[in-house]
């Protein structure tokens, strides 16, 4: 029996997209022979949904939740999250859940899962809330417990605890939200300059490590400080004139940025102009509001935008110069703690390691282990292990920090969870000790069961692990080719890694990661490309360039061997017995000896151009995708459209412009472009990836910049061109090209509907050997800018793809339009003789008379296979899970080769032997001697510093102990009157400061003293005491929006030091148990509307609640057979019962007939119980 693992992901935080992508990674990588994954999506209001698996493979949560059918319409193509639906009752949330799966109630969780794997980030996932709920439900879960999670979430609290434990810390200042709103900004600015200095780091106290963080430089001054602190509170001051000065397109872009969940303010959002304050829920509402404000010149020139999902505290701290690192720390099987190799985060000076740098391949560099001597690495590991224990963490944690040039270690961001995308530190560092993602997840689950003392489940998992290791059977070997030398080589690594992970968790295939690159040494100079079989630690490097660097410089850091030894109790049990850590050069001719098939995960040249396919044909190896002839055409965007044009398909006008013509006369070159095409026009490379250097050119300045950057890069001209084209500092550009492909921009041309789509397909052989094309439902591609970016195509949570595309019009159904679009896509594939699979990008025009035009842009014979790409969404709708889709591609490849060579059925597949290991040559004697001398010098310097420190300490003790002195007594914990008496007896003076109010403690209690207890002072010294105030400040009650659950809402009251109690329970079968109906304070009823306007009560007050109760008396279930669902629904809910699962074969639920119920008619049920229904389009037998 497999252990059922409920994977919790999504949630209400600003990092929900990372959680969604991480949950998908866990779902894919769990060893299916040990575990049964159960996807549990947590929505924005913390409700749980058993998600239908196909939605796991959407690019973003916004692609499926809220469901497209229920999402608000947008005039500008904005997609939104659930919060933009406005306040929702339980019935509305249930309806949304029914579109993507079904709602889960907490009481049924033990029936669904044995263990909860927590892939949530931020609020509700990392702060102890969900952990507490799972403990109430009796479900063991992964990671740390409640208290440790609360500490891991609150950065301000972390700083206090770490300082008390003796960890170095930069200067820090905490700004409270209410104080920031009520006090002049220059007071905080001056305090920050005096206490923090320059540069300073400003960040929210309870957000992820890359959310709302800003490095403020001195030249940015007061205005920059106010802007950064406001942004950390998720608030923005907008001068209306600044908005008015923008172009219409830039206004849309501004709204898009402000609406962004990670980088902006998000929704719901309060906007205030003068005395008028309004809550907005969607980007369209914000755009309309700002446009109306521009038209109304009589109002205030300032608009304040403020998100409801905000912060109570912002941290200002000193900037630390040094090497930034991140370390995963694990609980060992024996209860000890071990840190994995720290990873250095390499970025440009003053830059942040933001979301895109973390998760888009090629946008950052991660060096593992950090580039430091082994002794420094050991010190980092010891400090992170100590902090793990100090903070009470369990199972695993990610601890970030800095190592300064002076050798000081600053630990600044302990996290009880980690990102779980394939490129995350979590898997990256585990690979260094030899664990694949699947194996590492198994270890995390086993350790979590041990932490939660789930002995029965532990015994079951141990037994299954033993059986798995003993029954390793023969599998088909698949070489996964990845990397390459093209512009999209980093995306290729991500695609190949995804293929590897999907195949490695299967029972049929054993994948081998093989890196393709240009020749590395002189012996390979005659080769077009070379192959290297990668160990798992290189496969999980951040990008292609990092892998290539490790091939060129194959030496391993000496610290790694020691770390592997310290992790031996883990790897001996969970890693492959034949695991290797060195790359092995694999001559192409030897590929058939280690692989039975090849999956080409390359993009661009070589890979998509037929070179690799031609060589594999000679070796007799089956491979995915089209053959050499078709690949040579589809790599060339100009030639592809020529073939389609000749076949009668509509295509856009093109011109392939050559570099020599540009160099001959640049001005004449620009004139020729403008004579052929009107602005705007499209410029792109003819043979690069689908998103590489594709730009919409609107004017000559941009045309000049594009041509100069492509044909004449270098110097000031290149910098100016990059600025004109709005390229990021780390954004690559395909330099040295011999041509540019110009195209006329495709427009609506009078169509009623006009949209960009991408359509995937899969090919099969019919019984008579004919090629059959299975064309998937196309996706609608929504670009945030003018063309789809790399991020939007391949970065989880960034792209917006609606699958199926919104092809229907007011007069014509989806099926009418989609059938014609899919026919055109298949026609294009047949003209190009595509085989295996492909993805075709196109624009679609739907005219008022029903005509449908599909204008193909390009054809990808080896489409991207990253986890977030649209082809997986489309395959899911067709019924293929990602692994099944990949397996179908490989099945076709093998069948194609069998038919081509008339092979007999294959013999049993061979088992891959252990790869040969590679031993690096020892250092030459001169280098070893030099290293020894260097270590001796360092040791001598450390000894001298130690002696000086001891002398200084002794001298200070002598100095501070001269003359008569006394030890300061303990005043903390006394009432102020008692403290005065003690001070008078000891001959001390008292200076009293009134501090904060604490409802849990008496007024006048001494809570702080200076000098500290135990300090030695002379008589008549003044002691400064801080006592608690007796004046209770007013606090604002939280809104009920998203917080209707009583247990959830009272946690917010606890934070504000408000007491609470249940005054009354009302029966309501339709709503969740404990849903808040009303609040009372001093017998005054408080409604949801009152709370939105702001209700203040004194801290320490008691709030009374009226909440729902789902279960009450008894009811006998009537016989609903033969009734139509639409009629019976009202009767069932009116009987104080709840409709549960609805199943059967029917087309229209409300017109369908009930053929049976579970439980059966006549059963006595408690009110609020669920009734499952079976439906059919026809009445059951015996109905009148």
Per-residue pLDDT at 33: 83
Q: What per-residue confidence (pLDDT) applies to 626? A: 96
- What secondary structure does DSSP assign to 769-787, as a single string? S-EEEEEPPPEEEE-SSSS
In this model, does residue 206 exceed pLDDT 80?
yes
Question: Is the predicted pLDDT of residue 938 greater than 80, yes or no?
Answer: no
Provide φ and ψ at 1036, rounded to 5°. -90, 130
pLDDT of residue 962: 45
> Which three-class secondary structure state does DSSP give residue 174?
strand
What is the pLDDT, as a whole number, of residue 928? 44
Q: Omega of the bond prior to 606 within 30 degrees of 0, cis?
A: yes
More confident residue, 905 or 627: 627
pLDDT of residue 941: 62
Query: Would you state the pLDDT for residue 1112?
Result: 63
Q: Are 592 and 623 in contact (CB under 8 A)?
A: no
Question: Of residues 590 and 926, which shows the higher confidence score?
Answer: 590
Chain segment 644-699, per-residue pLDDT in tens:
999 999 999 999 999 999 999 999 999 999 999 999 999 999 987 666 789 999 99
- What digits encode the pLDDT tens for the residues 633-656? 999 999 999 999 999 999 999 999
Residue 194 tokens read as 């005096």
Give dist(CA 437, CA 426) in Å, integer. Answer: 9
Residue 783, pLDDT score: 53
pLDDT surpasses 50 at 372: yes
Query: Residue written as tokens 């996290």?
Result: 415
**How much of the chain, in percent, has pLDDT values that exceed 70?**
89
pLDDT band at residue 1131 using 50, 70 and 90 as cut-offs: confident
What is the average per-residue pLDDT within 700-715? 91
Three-class SS state of 740: strand
Cα 15 to Cα 9: distance, rounded to the nearest angstrom = 10
Average pLDDT over residues 1083-1110: 84
- Closest among 285, 814, 808, 327 to 563, alpha carbons compared: 327
Q: Of 974-988, 1017-1031, 1060-1074, which gets the smallest average pLDDT? A: 1060-1074
Helix, strand, coil share of the chain (percent; to 5): 35, 25, 40
Q: Is the pLDDT of residue 181 over 90?
A: no
- How far is Cα 563 from Cα 571, in angstroms, rounded to an integer? 11
Q: Which two tokens stand for residue 279?
A: 């809550």
* 468 pLDDT above the threshold of 70: yes
* Mean pLDDT taken over the chain: 86
**Average pLDDT score over residue span 385-400:** 95
Helices in 621-777 by DSSP H: which ranges? 628-634, 637-646, 659-664, 666-676, 700-711, 715-724
Please say if the pLDDT value at position 1057 is more than 50: yes
Q: 998-1034 pLDDT, tens per residue?
A: 787 888 998 888 887 777 776 678 888 888 888 888 8
Q: Where are the beta strands (DSSP E) in 144-289?
A: 172-176, 200-204, 214-216, 235-239, 269-273, 276-280
pLDDT of amino acid 359? 43
- Could you tell me which residues come within 8 angstroms of residue 423 by beta carbon, excluding any fewer than 6 positions away? 358, 359, 361, 494, 540, 542
Residue 756 DSSP code = E
% pLDDT > 90, the chain: 54
**Cβ–Cβ under 8 Å, residues 551 and 584:** no
Tokens of 506: 């299967």
Measured between alpha carbons, how far apart are the two ends of the chain, in Å? 46
C-alpha span between 61 and 81 (Å, rounded): 8
Contact (Cβ atoms closer than 8 angstroms) between residue 670 and residue 704: yes
In this prediction, residue 797 carries a pLDDT of 40
Backbone angles phi, psi at 1008, to 5 degrees: -155, 145
The domains of the chain, with CATH numbers, are 3-141 (3.40.50.20), 320-619 (3.30.470.20), 654-744 (3.30.1490), 748-880 (3.30.470.20), 966-1027 (3.30.10.20), 1034-1109 (3.30.10.20), 1114-1176 (3.30.10.20)
Q: What is the pLDDT of residue 967?
A: 82
Query: CA 502, CA 506: separation in Å to the nearest integer?
Result: 7
Is 60 exceeded by the pLDDT of residue 240? yes
The length of the chain in residues reads: 1184
Structure tokens at 694: 């594709």
Tell me the pLDDT tens digit for each residue of 839-861.
999 999 999 999 999 999 999 99
Tell me the residue ranges of DSSP E strands in 813-960. 837-846, 852-860
Residue 841 pairs with which residues in a beta bridge?
758, 858
Answer whether 854's CB lies under 8 Å from 825's CB: yes
Q: What is the dihedral of CA 1087, 1092, 1094, 1099, to 10 degrees?
A: 70
Nearest by Cα to 339 from 372, 374, 377: 377
Which is it for strands 1170-1176 and 1138-1145: parallel, antiparallel or unpaired? Answer: parallel
What is the pTM assigned to this prediction?
0.70
1111 CB burial (10 A radius; 0-12, 13-18, 19+): middle
Q: How many whole angstroms from its chain centre is CA 34?
A: 26
Mean pLDDT of the 405-426 span = 88
The predicted structure's pLDDT at residue 949: 62
Q: What angle do CA 1143, 1147, 1151 make, to 5 degrees?
A: 90
Say if residue 929's pLDDT is above 60: no
Q: Does residue 884 carry a pLDDT above 80?
A: yes
pLDDT tens digits, one per residue of 339-371: 999 999 886 544 444 444 444 444 457 888 999
Residue 115: pLDDT band with limits 50, 70, 90: very high
What pLDDT band is residue 4 in, cutting at 50, 70 and 90? very high
What confidence score (pLDDT) does residue 681 get? 95
- Residues 319, 201 contacting (CB under 8 angstroms): yes
- Strand 3-10 to strand 35-42: parallel, antiparallel, or no bridges (unpaired)? parallel
In the chain, the largest separation of any two C-alpha atoms, in whole Å, equals 109
* Residue whose C-alpha is closest to residue 681's, from 717, 652, 724, 715: 652
pLDDT of residue 1042 exceeding 60, the answer is: no
- Residue by residue, DSSP assigns 273-340 as ETTEEEEE-SHHHHHHHHHHHHH-TTS-SEEEEEESS--SEEEEEEPPPSEEEEEEEEE-TTS-EEEP
Q: Which runs of E-coded beta strand occur in 1018-1071? A: 1022-1027, 1034-1036, 1059-1067
Q: Which long-range contacts (CB under 8 A, 24 or more apart) does 1002-1006 make?
A: 1002/975, 1002/1028, 1003/1027, 1003/1028, 1003/1029, 1003/1030, 1004/975, 1004/976, 1004/977, 1004/1028, 1004/1030, 1005/973, 1005/974, 1005/975, 1005/976, 1006/971, 1006/972, 1006/973, 1006/974, 1006/975, 1006/976, 1006/979
- Distance of alpha carbon 451 from the chain centroid: 27
pLDDT in tens, 57-75: 888 899 899 998 899 989 9
């Amino acid at each position: 029996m497999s252990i059922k693992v409920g994977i919790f992901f999504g949630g209400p935080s600003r990092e929900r997209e990372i959680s969604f992508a991480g949950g998908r990674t866990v779902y894919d990588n769990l060893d299916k022979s040990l575990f049964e994954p159960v996807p549990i999506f947590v929505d924005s209001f913390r409700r749980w949904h058993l998600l239908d698996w196909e939605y796991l493979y959407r690019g973003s949560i916004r692609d499926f939740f809220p469901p497209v059918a229920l999402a608000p319409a947008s005039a500008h193509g904005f997609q939104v999250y659930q919060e933009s639906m406005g306040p929702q009752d339980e019935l509305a949330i249930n309806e949304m859940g029914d579109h993507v799966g079904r709602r889960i109630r907490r009481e049924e969780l033990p029936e669904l899962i044995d263990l909860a794997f927590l892939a949530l980030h931020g609020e509700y996932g990392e702060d102890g809330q969900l952990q507490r709920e799972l403990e109430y439900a009796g479900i063991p879960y992964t990671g740390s417990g409640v208290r440790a999670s609360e500490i891991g979430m609150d950065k301000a609290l972390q700083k206090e605890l770490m300082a008390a434990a003796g960890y170095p810390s930069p200067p820090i200042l905490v700004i409270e939200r209410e104080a920031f709103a009520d006090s002049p900004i220059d007071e905080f600015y001056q305090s920050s300059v005096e206490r923090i200095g320059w540069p300073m780091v400003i960040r929210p106290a309870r957000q992820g490590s890359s959310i709302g963080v800003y490095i403020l430089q001195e030249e940015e001054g007061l205005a920059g400080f106010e802007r950064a602190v406001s942004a950390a509170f998720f608030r923005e001051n907008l001068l209306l004139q600044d908005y008015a000065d923008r172009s219409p397109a830039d206004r849309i872009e501004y709204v898009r940025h402000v609406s962004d969940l990670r980088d902006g303010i998000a929704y719901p959002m309060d906007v205030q102009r003068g005395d008028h304050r309004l809550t907005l829920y969607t980007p369209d509402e914000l755009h309309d509001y700002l446009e109306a404000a521009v038209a109304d010149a009589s109002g205030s020139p300032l608009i304040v935008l403020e998100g409801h999902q905000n912060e109570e505290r912002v941290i200002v701290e000193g900037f630390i110069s040094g090497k930034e690192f991140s370390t995963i720390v694990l609980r060992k099987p024996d209860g000890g703690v071990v840190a994995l190799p720290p990873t250095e985060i390499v970025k440009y000076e003053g830059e942040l390691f933001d979301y895109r740098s973390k998760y888009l391949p090629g946008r950052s560099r991660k060096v593992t282990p950090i580039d430091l001597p082994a002794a420094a690495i050991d010190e980092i590991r010891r400090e992170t292990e100590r902090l793990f224990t100090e903070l009470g963490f369990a199972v695993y944690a990610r601890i970030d920090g800095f190592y300064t040039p002076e050798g000081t270690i600053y630990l600044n961001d302990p996290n009880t969870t980690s990102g779980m995308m394939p490129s995350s530190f979590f898997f990256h560092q585990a690979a260094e000790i030899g664990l694949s993602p699947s194996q590492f997840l198994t270890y995390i689950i086993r350790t979590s069961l041990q932490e939660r003392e789930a002995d029965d489940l532990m015994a079951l998992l141990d037994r299954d692990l033993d059986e798995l290791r003993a029954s390793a059977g023969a599998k088909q070997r698949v070489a996964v080719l990845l990397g390459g030398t093209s512009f999209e080589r980093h995306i290729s690594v991500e695609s190949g890694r995804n293929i590897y992970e999907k195949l490695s968790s299967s029972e049929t295939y054993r994948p081998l990661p093989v890196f393709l690159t240009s020749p590395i040494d002189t012996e390979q100079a005659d080769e077009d490309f070379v192959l290297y079989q990668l160990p798992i630690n290189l496969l999980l490097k951040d990008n292609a360039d990092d892998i290539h660097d490790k091939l060129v410089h194959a030496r391993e850091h000496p610290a790694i061997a020691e770390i592997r030894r310290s992790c031996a109790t883990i790897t001996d049990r969970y890693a492959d017995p034949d695991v290797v850590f060195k790359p092995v050069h694999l001559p192409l001719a030897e590929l058939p000896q280690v692989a039975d098939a090849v999956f080409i995960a390359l993009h661009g040249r070589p890979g998509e151009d037929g070179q690799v396919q031609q060589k594999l044909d000679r070796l007799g190896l089956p491979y995915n995708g089209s053959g050499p002839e078709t690949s040579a055409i589809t790599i060339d965007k100009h030639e592809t459209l020529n073939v389609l044009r000749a076949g009668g398909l509509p295509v856009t006008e093109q011109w392939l412009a050559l570099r020599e013509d540009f160099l001959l006369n640049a001005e004449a070159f620009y004139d020729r472009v403008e004579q052929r095409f009107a602005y705007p026009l499209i410029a792109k490379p003819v043979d690069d990836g689908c998103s590489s250097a594709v730009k919409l050119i609107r004017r000559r300045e941009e045309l000049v910049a594009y041509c100069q950057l492509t044909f004449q890069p270098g110097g000031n001209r290149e910098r100016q061109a990059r600025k004109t084209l709005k390229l990021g500092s780390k954004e690559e550009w395909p330099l040295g090209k011999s041509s540019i492909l110009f195209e006329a921009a495709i427009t609506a041309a009078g169509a009623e509907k006009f949209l960009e789509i991408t359509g995937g397909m899969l090919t099969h052989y019919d019984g008579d050997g004919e090629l059959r094309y299975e064309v998937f439902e196309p996706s609608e591609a929504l670009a945030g800018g003018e063309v789809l970016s790399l991020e939007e195509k391949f970065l989880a949570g960034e792209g917006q793809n609606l699958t199926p595309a919104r092809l229907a019009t007011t007069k014509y159904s989806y099926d009418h339009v989609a059938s014609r679009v899919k026919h055109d896509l298949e026609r294009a594939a047949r003209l190009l003789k595509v085989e295996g699979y492909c993805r075709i990008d196109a624009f679609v025009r739907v005219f008022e008379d029903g005509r449908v035009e599909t204008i193909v842009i390009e054809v990808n014979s080896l489409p991207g296979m990253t986890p977030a790409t649209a082809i997986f969404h489309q395959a899911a709708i067709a019924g293929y899970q990602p692994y099944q889709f990949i397996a179908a591609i490989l099945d076709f490849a093998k069948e194609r080769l069998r038919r081509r060579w008339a092979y007999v059925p294959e013999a049993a597949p061979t088992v891959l032997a252990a790869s040969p290991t590679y031993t690096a040559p020892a250092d030459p004697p001169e280098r070893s001697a030099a290293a020894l001398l260097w270590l001796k010098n360092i040791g001598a310097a450390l000894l001298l510093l130690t002696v000086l420190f001891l002398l200084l300490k002794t001298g200070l003790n002598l100095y501070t102990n001269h003359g008569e002195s006394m030890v300061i007594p303990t005043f903390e914990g006394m009432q102020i009157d008692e403290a005065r008496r003690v001070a008078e007896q000891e001959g001390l003076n008292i200076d009293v400061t009134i501090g904060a109010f604490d409802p849990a403690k008496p007024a006048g209690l001494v809570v702080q003293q200076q000098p500290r207890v135990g300090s030695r002072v002379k008589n008549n010294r003044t002691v400064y005491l801080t006592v608690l105030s007796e004046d209770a400040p007013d606090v604002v009650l939280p809104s009920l929006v998203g917080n209707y659950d009583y247990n959830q809402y009272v946690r917010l009251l606890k934070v504000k030091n408000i007491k609470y109690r249940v005054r009354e329970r009302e029966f309501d079968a339709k709503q969740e148990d404990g849903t808040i109906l009303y609040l009372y304070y001093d017998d005054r009823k408080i409604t949801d509307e009152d709370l939105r306007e702001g209700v203040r009560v004194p801290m320490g007050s008691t709030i009374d609640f009226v909440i729902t109760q789902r279960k009450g008396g008894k009811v006998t279930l009537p016989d609903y057979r033969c009734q139509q669902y639409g009629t019976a629904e009202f009767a069932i809910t009116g009987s104080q019962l709840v409709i549960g699962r609805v199943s059967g074969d029917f087309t229209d639920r409300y017109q369908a007939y009930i053929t049976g119920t579970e439980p059966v008619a006549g059963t006595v049920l408690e009110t609020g119980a669920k009734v499952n229904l079976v439906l059919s389009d026809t009445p059951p037998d015996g109905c009148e």
